Structure 1
Amino acid sequence: MNDHTTNKHKNNSPIEGVIFDWAGTIVDFGSFAPTSIFVEAFKQGFDFEITLDEAREPMGIGKWDHIKAVGQLPSVKARWIAQFGQEMSHDDIDRIYAAFMPLQKAKVADHAQPILNAVDVVESLKAQGIKIGSCSGYPREVMDVLSPVAADYGYKPDCIVATDDLPQGGRPAPFMALKNVIELGIGSVAHCVKVDDAAPGIEEGHNAGMWTVGLLLSGNEAGLTYDEYLNADADTLEQARERARVKLGKAKPHYLIDTIAELPEVIRDIEARLQANQRP
């Protein structure tokens, strides 16, 4: 679902493209669609309990690899061995993934509403002639459910890459970001910005040679619902911000902001740096 006809404006910016993650970045404040489904898939597949925090821990990578990574968390591994007498196997992961997929497809549209000012920010980038790419830890069959609902809300990126579209694997490898570059006809990766709410997605941007922006409060690491975010006092927000800053800081993003609403200011700063011949 790549639409290169939507971007008819002359590019008035040195930035050629911005590539967004999906859950926790553009849609699904708090990234609850994948985390809650992981909890349910473990329960449905094996009657095994994991917490939301455990489900969140490896967020950003492809979903099969995510299930494997959850199984390797020391807390989960110990309980799994206690319950089943051995570590989680590839067959076990396949079984949980098989439970995950229909659950995710059934629920993902419920979490398709764009975050805060996301659509306005994206449309203002398009108006400058900047191309809008996107990539996700979701596989294609989930993206095929999510993207038309998000489009109904007004979010229509020029390119959508799913984690299983490429044989080389997902994040933190650069391939999904680079597939956007190729599909969108972008001339320089140094004139691209990758925006994500999880460390593997920021690392993906670095590995692709792009500017990177991490989102602290709308995504997986803060784990706040939209209502919690709106109603939180300053101390609660700062604690959530610090939790996310610790996790995202390990990926060394060029910029850390609370939500996509603050992205225009970052874009202006990157434009100035590019005009001064700086590179990511």
Structure 2
Amino acid sequence: MTYQPPTRLHAAILDWAGTVVDFGSFAPTRIFVEAFASFDLPLSLEEARGPMGLGKWAHIRALCDQPAVAERFQRRFGRLPTDADVTALYKRFMPLQIEKVGEHSAMIPGALEAIASLQERGLKIGSCSGYPRAVMTKVEALASEAGYRPDHVVASDEVPRGRPSPAQALANVIALEIEDVAACVKVDDTAPGMLEGRRAGMWTVALRFSGNCLGLSWEDYQALSHEQRAAARQRIDAELGPCRPHYLIDTIAELPAIVDAINARLARGELPNAH
């Protein structure tokens, strides 16, 4: 048998918060702040955003490993945070997240139109998230009411390891019956999501403005001047550059043009791991 590389994309694997819903990725970050506050541990929104893209238990572990947060924990409890403490915070976080995720579930402007355009091009739509299944069930239901119904969804606790492991992306490949990972594009607003796609052997597209990197609401983003957006692009591109995304775009609304560009590259025989 001879290897025949794909000549076009067959699937897009999309993140959720900050990519297709919840402009600014506020649902998870604000709940982290609230969960830590319930243990009398101050946490800023900026600190909460730091490990975004990881599974939520791993996110809390990463927060507790930050020197400033660990110092606050030691002052409050007289010891450094253990895995048992992380689990206690996670158990406080989860019901809050399930209860309040609907407050930040609106579709990102242009997302439905972009996804419909990908489907018109023959792409299947997979998806994955740092949310566990208990949260994803609610997020999926709200998105379905808004008109977004991906072909497959993989939650963070449905694979052995979450992002930046490639497991969730590859679980989509299996479920969608995609024959070659090079025929997939992974779209995400976080560094772990980019690494997930890279490690899965896919094309990768990073989103600058709709998610965690900018961390603004749609209204505040719209109010930015041309100069402010240019400065933010420069900062975010430098931040995500080490993850080696194939493309960086402002929001998912620009994705159909990128899919056309990737299809042209595939038709020329180019593959994602070569770049």
Work out the CA distance in 2 between the residues paired with 1:103 and 1:182. Answer: 32
> Which of the residues 9, 17, 20 maps onto 1:26?
20
Structure 1 residue 192 and structure 2 residue 181: aligned?
A: no
Work out the CA distance in 1 between the residues paired with 2:21 and 2:187. Answer: 13
Measure how far apart 1:231 and its partner are: 1.1
SS of match in other structure, 2:157: coil
- Residue 104 of structure 2 is matched in structure 1 by 111
What TM-score, normalized by structure 2, do the two folds share?
Answer: 0.94
> Which of the residues 228, 231, 240 maps onto 1:239?
231
**Most deviating of 72-81 and 26-35:** 72-81
Work out the CA distance in 2 between the residues paired with 1:233 and 1:128. Answer: 34
SS of match in other structure, 1:164: helix
Work out the CA distance in 2 between the residues paired with 1:71 and 1:236. Answer: 32
Measured on the aligned residues, the alpha-carbon RMSD in Å equals 1.1
> Which of the residues 130, 135, 138 maps onto 2:128?
135
**Most deviating of 201-210 and 75-84:** 75-84
Measure how far apart 1:83 and its partner are: 2.4
SS of match in other structure, 2:51: coil
Structure 1 residue 78 and structure 2 residue 106: aligned?
A: no
Structure 1 residue 51 and structure 2 residue 44: aligned?
A: yes
Structure 1 residue 279 and structure 2 residue 271: aligned?
A: yes
Work out the CA distance in 2 between the residues paired with 1:225 and 1:86. Answer: 37
Measure how far apart 1:246 and its partner are: 2.5
Structure 1 residue 66 and structure 2 residue 46: aligned?
A: no
Q: Summarize deviations over 1:45-65 as a string: whole Å, max 9, x none.
A: x11110001000000010000
Q: Summarize deviations over 1:187-232 as a string: whole Å, max 9, x none.
A: 1100100000000000000010000000001110111111101111
After superposition, where does 1:174-189 map in structure 2 within 5 Å? 174-189=166-181
Structure 1 residue 160 and structure 2 residue 160: aligned?
A: no
What TM-score, normalized by structure 1, do the two folds share?
Answer: 0.93
Q: Does the 8 Å contact 1:222/1:243 carry over to 2?
A: no
- Residue 84 of structure 2 is matched in structure 1 by 91
Measure how far apart 1:247 and its partner are: 2.2
Q: How many residues align?
A: 266
Percent identity, aligned pairs only, is 51
Measure how far apart 1:239 and its partner are: 3.1
Which blocks of at least 5 consecutive residues in structure 2 are unaligned? 1-6
Q: Does the 8 Å contact 1:26/1:114 carry over to 2?
A: yes
Work out the CA distance in 2 between the residues paired with 1:246 and 1:142. Answer: 32
Work out the CA distance in 2 between the residues paired with 1:238 and 1:224. Answer: 15
